[in-house]
A and B are shown apart, each in its own frame.
Chain A
Amino acid sequence: MTTETLVPVDEALTRFDPVMGLEIHIELNTATKMFCGCPTEFGAEPNTQVCPVCLALPGALPVVNAKAIESAIRIGLALNCEIAEWCRFARKNYFYPDMPKNFQTSQYDEPIAFDGHVDVEVDGETYRIDIERAHMEEDTGKSLHVGGSTGRIHGADFSLVDYNRAGIPLIEIVTRTIEVPGDKAAAVARAYVSYVRDLIGGLGVSDVRMDQGSLRADVNLSLKPKGSTTLGTRSETKNVNSFRSVERAVRYEISRHAGILDEGGSVLQETRHFHEDTGTTSSGREKSDADDYRYFPEPDLAPVSPSREWVEELRATLPEPPAVRRARLQADWGFSDLEMRDTIGAGALQLVADTIEAGATPQAARKWWLGEMARRANEQGADLDSLGITPLQVAEIQKLIDAGRINDKLARSVFDGVIAGEGTPEEVIVGRQLEVVSDDGALGEAVDRAIAGDPDAAQKIRDGKQAAAGALIGAVMKEMRGQADAGRVRELILEKLT
């Protein structure tokens, strides 16, 4: 790999303006695939969800999944798009070992939804992102390269292909050029992806899990010398799979492009891979003008012409717009403006909402997701929703705290256990023996030992200095590994010494 000259982002932005384009692929959660009746369950045994159609056996023909069309229309409406009165699928012809037909059935110049926009907020400022189009296509299969150390094709002994994913319906949402103040570009990119995730999640048409690939973002970026009107050459960083990575990918590409341009070089138009571990990108396939997909209308599929009545019916079923919903939730939860902004900024809005829905108080839900969980996510460089703990589990743990079964400190250990896959919160408490002890017998003995071990403190309490109880409580807690009911311990100490 060649060494890149990287220019710090702040410095780069003194000379260049970033220009971005974002493409988001969303796997729909339809029960069956885009063009056949195969199931779409995630994580099934390889090649168990395949048929002649999605394997592209000779003679097999596609038929459009009506539910996928409905989902596409709902997504288009949520993105404030126009819905085409008549559109077609097209064939995008190229070879890829895990693409069975060697063309992807997609939409080209006739997308089902086009000309929309969304407004995203960063630091209290609103930025409008224009949507060029949202079109339907099918996913490819997955290649697994076996034998190499990197999991990449180079150095592998052989490759296996799993076609379970081939033919799963995708919606690709393409923005128009995004030009925002350079120091905001990365945050706006992140906020946009996060916004779209919430929006689509709210429609219930996709699992929108970045960690499972049901929402994938491609980041196109180019730099324009300040004052210039001509666009630079862009790079396309593919399949960035967390919000945080979207932000980092933008920043890294700004640095890298600036380095190349400063040295008088020219940026290659290519696709790039993002590396979560280092926050860097590396060259993928060079993408030049020679790429020719030979698009033409898919002759095996009838055109799609959703009736206006149907579109209006679907519009009527849309959930409330995000801005309205946020205002409502803020009022319901009693959050301050700052609390609400932090919650949204952390990508935790839906998680907090789901946790409250599952029975936690708004403040408790916010406390865990923006405190404990945000800290863990930061440490792991992951997004909140890929930590391995669900809003339902967080709410359950809070209920156990409220019931006095555990305390806040023990809860952290319960989180560890749940995330480590040790079972439900209840099972973790039993497995790790985390339950709070409030039984007077056991606590009394521990208190006696603490008094015996710290006669000075005991004497101070006898002298009426109740503040000295803290040292004895600490000793009891330490002996009981944090599992003592602190309030009861205090009472016992005072009973025994006053």
Chain B
Amino acid sequence: MTDLTKLSAADLAGKLARKEVSSVEATQAQLDRIAAVDGDVHAFLHVDAEGALATAADIDARRAAGEGLHGLAGVPIAVKDIVATKGMPTTCGSKILDGWIPPYDATITQRIKAAGLPILGKTNMDEFAMGSSTEHSAYGPTRNPWDRDRIPGGSGGGSAAAVAAFEAALAIGTDTGGSIRQPGALTGTVGVKPTYGGVSRYGLVALASSLDQAGPVTRTVLDAALLHELMGGHDPMDSTSIDAPAPLVVSAARRADVKGLKIGIVKELGGEGFQAGVSARFHEAVELLTSAGAEVVEVSLPSLEYALAAYYLVMPSEASSNLARFDAMRYGVRVPPAGADDPSAEQVMASSRDAGFGDEVKRRIIVGTYALSSGYYDAYYGSAQKVRTLLARDFASAFEQVDVLVSPTSPTTAWQLGAKLDDPLSMYLQDVATIPANLAGIPGLSLPVGLAEEDGLPVGLQFLAPQQADDRLYNAGAALEKLLEDQWGGPMLAQAPDLEVAR
């Protein structure tokens, strides 16, 4: 019998629809896989076997009764621990929310539940999504299934590793500066950041409200499109949610045709600072696209050089305000101050935050508080907002020349655990290619394009498209995926080391 955990979500959904396999079997297979490998990978912070199997049994019963079900009904899914799940712990990888069980569901959680996808559990992440390696989780790092001495990327390392390690075919991530795409690239999975406002943020614990976007992490482009379509669309509970018809991403992924497509290589995202093996795989992929009929030109985004600086002002500024609610008053942990008999509310808040927040979170709160403070606002936050405007203009003029833009997703492949932990600035540089999309609110998709020669680790290529043109990403991504798989003779993840043997 086929190993159910190795199937794509689309293939599994087909088998479920044809009743060749039950959701309980598929869910149990994932739970068994998690039990077998997650001790090494640590993709999950919380596994809900009982809840997942109950949903699976319910879906099987409804299917047996002939009920019309969502196409992905019964396909198990993993959810990043930043998404509110009613009755299931949600910690954001932080001690300050240790044990917190939300009394409500995020809109995307509701949509997943309504569609009947069993939720396997919550995946590990950098604390409050701050980081590019998942080493900043208060509950310990996630390891890259390709090499467990390496990081899986961040902040959504748990979701990406779960998909790469065959613990789930579908996972949800959130991307504030690349937290879906960069771990996707580093683990050989597909990750998509939809257009800002394309997927509801209601119930996502906010890192930076104007940048955060939830999206799919999967093994194939089509799977990502299926999950994107399920999660996306207007939500009246999110005032920034786009109230317009959502792009038709699934049909675009099925079309998979790049003939006549104009592709722009971003001049500023390549060359210096990019690992040789990353650049090599990237250029080969571009050549494949050309051979399939795409037209490739080089375009320039002059404001890109300020993007990283602008991001590292906007993100901590908004984060400093968003995290202010963690004050030990209503939820989360409360840590009494040492040596104070009759502490004030402020003292309790200070000691709780001191114990509850990790170093990276504190660092960004301090930076953000400073950047917003009176007398510095114009120089920092105000300037950063101007950069966003300039960058959006750069993208707009680039998209007048081309349909999509491409770049490597990450300048390097996965690095050794601990290698950049004491050097925050070096870690921040890893997001240089992904951050511009968040600042401009445009969609981006990363997909694996092979292994770097020097270390044998996955390399990702990123497509970018104009706002609300997410379908172009899926069309081009699926086309490239097909060309590559023809070359490889199957999915790239098939080349990943066997974790069960390796134990």
Interface residues of A (CB under 8 A from B): 52, 55-64, 91, 93, 95, 97, 100-103, 159, 161, 292, 294-296, 299-302
Whether A101 pairs with B325 at a CB distance below 8 angstroms is: yes
Binds A, one of B218-226, B368-376, B392-400, B430-438: B368-376
With beta carbons under 8 angstroms apart, the residue of A100, A103, A159, A300 that contacts B330 is A100
With beta carbons under 8 angstroms apart, the residue of A60, A101, A295 that contacts B324 is A101
Whether B239 pairs with A294 at a CB distance below 8 angstroms is: no
Complex interface: chain B residues within 8 A of A63 (CB):
236-239
Q: Tell me the complex Cα distance, A56–B322, Å.
A: 10
Whether A60 pairs with B239 at a CB distance below 8 angstroms is: no
Give a binary string over B201-212; 1 marks a CB under 8 Å from any A CB, 0 the rest. Answer: 111111011100
- Provided the pairs A57-B331, A95-B324, A95-B346 are in contact, do residues A296 and B202 lie with their beta carbons within 8 angstroms? no
Complex interface: chain A residues within 8 A of B238 (CB):
61, 63
Whether B325 pairs with A100 at a CB distance below 8 angstroms is: yes
- Taking the closest CB of chain B, its distance from the CB of A99, in whole angstroms, is 9
- Looking at B97, B104, B236, B381, the one whose CB has the most chain A CB atoms below 10 A away is B104
Whether B372 pairs with A294 at a CB distance below 8 angstroms is: yes
- Taking the closest CB of chain A, its distance from the CB of B170, in whole angstroms, is 21
Q: Tell me the complex Cα distance, A299–B208, Å.
A: 8
Indicate whether B275 reaches chain A with its CB closer than 8 angstroms: no
Complex interface: chain B residues within 8 A of A302 (CB):
239-240
Indicate whether B84 reaches chain A with its CB closer than 8 angstroms: yes
* Chain B stretch 126-181: residues in CB contact (< 8 A) with chain A: none
23 residue pairs of the A-B complex, CB under 8 angstroms, read A52-B103, A52-B104, A57-B84, A57-B103, A58-B97, A58-B206, A59-B83, A59-B84, A59-B102, A59-B204, A59-B206, A61-B201, A63-B238, A63-B239, A93-B372, A95-B327, A97-B329, A100-B330, A161-B329, A296-B317, A299-B209, A300-B209, A301-B240
Whether B102 pairs with A58 at a CB distance below 8 angstroms is: yes
Whether A58 pairs with B372 at a CB distance below 8 angstroms is: no
- Looking at A57, A101, A161, A301, the one whose CB has the most chain B CB atoms below 10 A away is A57
- Taking the closest CB of chain B, its distance from the CB of A137, in whole angstroms, is 16
Closest B-chain residue to A289, C-beta based?
B374
Complex interface: chain B residues within 8 A of A301 (CB):
239-240
Closest B-chain residue to A55, C-beta based?
B330
Complex interface: chain A residues within 8 A of B204 (CB):
59
Whether A296 pairs with B372 at a CB distance below 8 angstroms is: yes
Q: Tell me the complex Cα distance, A290–B246, Å.
A: 47
Indicate whether B92 reaches chain A with its CB closer than 8 angstroms: yes
Complex interface: chain A residues within 8 A of B372 (CB):
93, 294-296
Q: Tell me the complex Cα distance, A57–B332, Å.
A: 10
Q: Tell me the complex Cα distance, A100–B60, Å.
A: 42
Whether A58 pairs with B201 at a CB distance below 8 angstroms is: no
Interface of B is mostly: loop
* Chain B stretch 329-368: residues in CB contact (< 8 A) with chain A: 329-331, 345-346, 349
Whether B381 pairs with A296 at a CB distance below 8 angstroms is: yes
Closest A-chain residue to B331, C-beta based?
A57
Whether A299 pairs with B97 at a CB distance below 8 angstroms is: no
Whether A292 pairs with B373 at a CB distance below 8 angstroms is: yes
Indicate whether B403 reaches chain A with its CB closer than 8 angstroms: no
Whether A299 pairs with B205 at a CB distance below 8 angstroms is: no
Closest B-chain residue to A50, C-beta based?
B330
- Provided the pairs A61-B239, A63-B237 are in contact, do residues A296 and B377 lie with their beta carbons within 8 angstroms? yes
Indicate whether B318 reaches chain A with its CB closer than 8 angstroms: yes
Indicate whether B16 reaches chain A with its CB closer than 8 angstroms: no
Q: Tell me the complex Cα distance, A63–B324, Å.
A: 20
Closest B-chain residue to A96, C-beta based?
B345
With beta carbons under 8 angstroms apart, the residue of A58, A102, A300 that contacts B90 is A58
- Provided the pairs A102-B327, A294-B372, A301-B239 are in contact, do residues A59 and B203 lie with their beta carbons within 8 angstroms? yes
Indicate whether B43 reaches chain A with its CB closer than 8 angstroms: no
Complex interface: chain B residues within 8 A of A294 (CB):
320-321, 369, 372-374, 377
Chain B's interface size range is 35 or more
- Provided the pairs A58-B205, A296-B381 are in contact, do residues A103 and B324 lie with their beta carbons within 8 angstroms? yes
* Chain B stretch 69-123: residues in CB contact (< 8 A) with chain A: 83-84, 90, 92, 97, 100, 102-104, 106
Q: Tell me the complex Cα distance, A55–B331, Å.
A: 10
Complex interface: chain B residues within 8 A of A296 (CB):
317-318, 321, 372, 377, 381
- Taking the closest CB of chain A, its distance from the CB of B407, in whole angstroms, is 26
- Looking at B90, B100, B324, the one whose CB has the most chain A CB atoms below 10 A away is B324
Q: Tell me the complex Cα distance, A296–B380, Å.
A: 12
4 more contacts with CB within 8 A, not counting A62-B239, A93-B320, are A58-B97, A294-B369, A296-B372, A301-B240
Complex interface: chain A residues within 8 A of B100 (CB):
58
Complex interface: chain A residues within 8 A of B377 (CB):
294-296
Whether B325 pairs with A59 at a CB distance below 8 angstroms is: no
Complex interface: chain B residues within 8 A of A62 (CB):
239
Complex interface: chain B residues within 8 A of A64 (CB):
239
Complex interface: chain A residues within 8 A of B345 (CB):
97, 159
Q: Tell me the complex Cα distance, A60–B106, Å.
A: 8
Whether A300 pairs with B240 at a CB distance below 8 angstroms is: yes
Closest B-chain residue to A62, C-beta based?
B239
Whether B321 pairs with A93 at a CB distance below 8 angstroms is: yes
- Taking the closest CB of chain B, its distance from the CB of A6, in whole angstroms, is 33
Complex interface: chain A residues within 8 A of B92 (CB):
58
- Looking at B202, B239, B329, B374, the one whose CB has the most chain A CB atoms below 10 A away is B239
- Taking the closest CB of chain A, its distance from the CB of B442, in whole angstroms, is 17
Complex interface: chain B residues within 8 A of A100 (CB):
325, 329-330
Complex interface: chain A residues within 8 A of B104 (CB):
52, 57, 60
Complex interface: chain A residues within 8 A of B318 (CB):
296, 299
Complex interface: chain B residues within 8 A of A61 (CB):
201-202, 237-239
Whether A93 pairs with B324 at a CB distance below 8 angstroms is: yes
- Taking the closest CB of chain A, its distance from the CB of B128, in whole angstroms, is 10
Q: Tell me the complex Cα distance, A68–B325, Å.
A: 25
Q: Tell me the complex Cα distance, A103–B317, Å.
A: 13
Q: Tell me the complex Cα distance, A159–B345, Å.
A: 10
Q: Tell me the complex Cα distance, A301–B201, Å.
A: 12
Complex interface: chain B residues within 8 A of A91 (CB):
321
What 3 A-B pairs are tightest by C-beta distance, nearest first? A102-B324, A299-B209, A299-B210
Complex interface: chain B residues within 8 A of A52 (CB):
102-104
Complex interface: chain B residues within 8 A of A161 (CB):
329
- Taking the closest CB of chain A, its distance from the CB of B122, in whole angstroms, is 13
Whether A60 pairs with B321 at a CB distance below 8 angstroms is: no
- Looking at A57, A61, A97, the one whose CB has the most chain B CB atoms below 10 A away is A61
Complex interface: chain B residues within 8 A of A292 (CB):
373-374
Q: Tell me the complex Cα distance, A302–B238, Å.
A: 9
Closest B-chain residue to A52, C-beta based?
B104
Complex interface: chain B residues within 8 A of A57 (CB):
84, 102-104, 330-331
Whether A58 pairs with B84 at a CB distance below 8 angstroms is: yes
Complex interface: chain A residues within 8 A of B206 (CB):
58-59, 300
* Chain B stretch 235-293: residues in CB contact (< 8 A) with chain A: 236-240
Q: Tell me the complex Cα distance, A59–B97, Å.
A: 13
Q: Tell me the complex Cα distance, A159–B346, Å.
A: 14
With beta carbons under 8 angstroms apart, the residue of A59, A102, A103 that contacts B202 is A59
Whether B239 pairs with A103 at a CB distance below 8 angstroms is: no
Q: Tell me the complex Cα distance, A52–B331, Å.
A: 12
Complex interface: chain B residues within 8 A of A159 (CB):
345
- Looking at A58, A159, A292, the one whose CB has the most chain B CB atoms below 10 A away is A58
Complex interface: chain A residues within 8 A of B349 (CB):
95
Q: Tell me the complex Cα distance, A294–B318, Å.
A: 11
- Taking the closest CB of chain A, its distance from the CB of B20, in whole angstroms, is 38
Complex interface: chain A residues within 8 A of B369 (CB):
294
- Looking at B100, B102, B327, the one whose CB has the most chain A CB atoms below 10 A away is B327
Q: Tell me the complex Cα distance, A103–B323, Å.
A: 10
Q: Tell me the complex Cα distance, A117–B331, Å.
A: 45
Q: Tell me the complex Cα distance, A97–B92, Å.
A: 23
- Taking the closest CB of chain A, its distance from the CB of B236, in whole angstroms, is 7
Closest A-chain residue to B236, C-beta based?
A63
- Taking the closest CB of chain A, its distance from the CB of B337, in whole angstroms, is 16
- Provided the pairs A61-B237, A63-B239, A300-B209 are in contact, do residues A56 and B317 lie with their beta carbons within 8 angstroms? no
Complex interface: chain A residues within 8 A of B329 (CB):
97, 100, 161
Whether A59 pairs with B205 at a CB distance below 8 angstroms is: yes
